[in-house]
Copies of this chain bind each other. A is one copy, B any other.
Amino acid sequence: MQTSTALLIADLVGVAVFAASGGSAGVAKRLDVFGVVFVGCVAALGGGVFRDVVIDNFPGGDRLGGAPPLAFADWRYSVVAAAAALLVFWLHPQLARIRRTVLLLDAAGLGLFTAAGTLKALDYGVPVVGACILGMMTGIGGGLLRDLLTGEIPLVLRREIYAVAALVGATIIAVGSRLPDWFGIVVPSLTLLLTAAAVTCVIRLLAILRNWSAPVARES
């Protein structure tokens, strides 16, 4: 299996997982089947569309011939997202039993989306701080839109270790991509991506397991 195939599969797994999370939110709000599919697709594809619309404005947008959002440029993304949301619609009572699996997959999706988003942003010439923020937005953007659509204050604003785990992964990508310049060490892209994704995923899972929480402002 080639690297590009491995990356595509990792990406589609992330899409499926986030679509499932969106579909679950839709089912919980008693949306009908089309609403469930729609929220699932937005949750799976929204972060990537935002990233691509932004990076197209950077020099790489011209150099690389634009940044067509994969949600619209590659039919496999929307089909996988819609199929995963449909599965949740049909199977959701069983899903309650595998809630742990869903949380695990969601953490994996967060790691993969963030790492891949940061790499892509750097490729298009986004400076390093901006690339980290944009990578984080790729990871958390879909869930943000899911919560806005279903009328909730975004979960990511309340479960702090979510966005921060993404930011740590993005920082690893950013530092790793500078190692050749700083120390002459070349890390293969795929190794870097998987390392960053794994770190994000582990932080997120530890935060769930240990109930980590961040401070809230004291009452005035």
Contact = CB atoms under 8 A, between A and B. Distances in A.
Interface of A: 26-27, 29-36, 38-39, 49, 52-54, 56-59, 61-62, 65-69, 71-75, 78-79, 89-90, 92-93, 96, 121, 126-131, 133-134, 144, 148-154, 156-158, 160, 163-164, 213-218, 220
Contacts of A157: 26, 31, 34-35, 38-39, 149
30 contacts: A31-B158, A32-B158, A32-B160, A32-B215, A36-B217, A38-B156, A38-B157, A53-B53, A53-B57, A56-B56, A56-B61, A56-B66, A57-B66, A57-B67, A57-B68, A62-B66, A68-B126, A71-B133, A72-B126, A73-B126, A74-B127, A74-B130, A75-B130, A78-B129, A78-B133, A92-B217, A93-B218, A93-B220, A148-B149, A151-B152
A51 B127 CA distance: 20
A11 B74 CA distance: 29
Tallying the copies of this chain within the complex gives 3
Contacts of A69: 54, 57
- Chain A interface SS verdict (over half): helix
A205 to B, nearest CB: 18
Nearest to A151: B153
Nearest to A27: B217
Given A33-B214, A78-B129, 6 more contacts: A32-B216, A33-B160, A71-B130, A75-B128, A78-B130, A151-B152
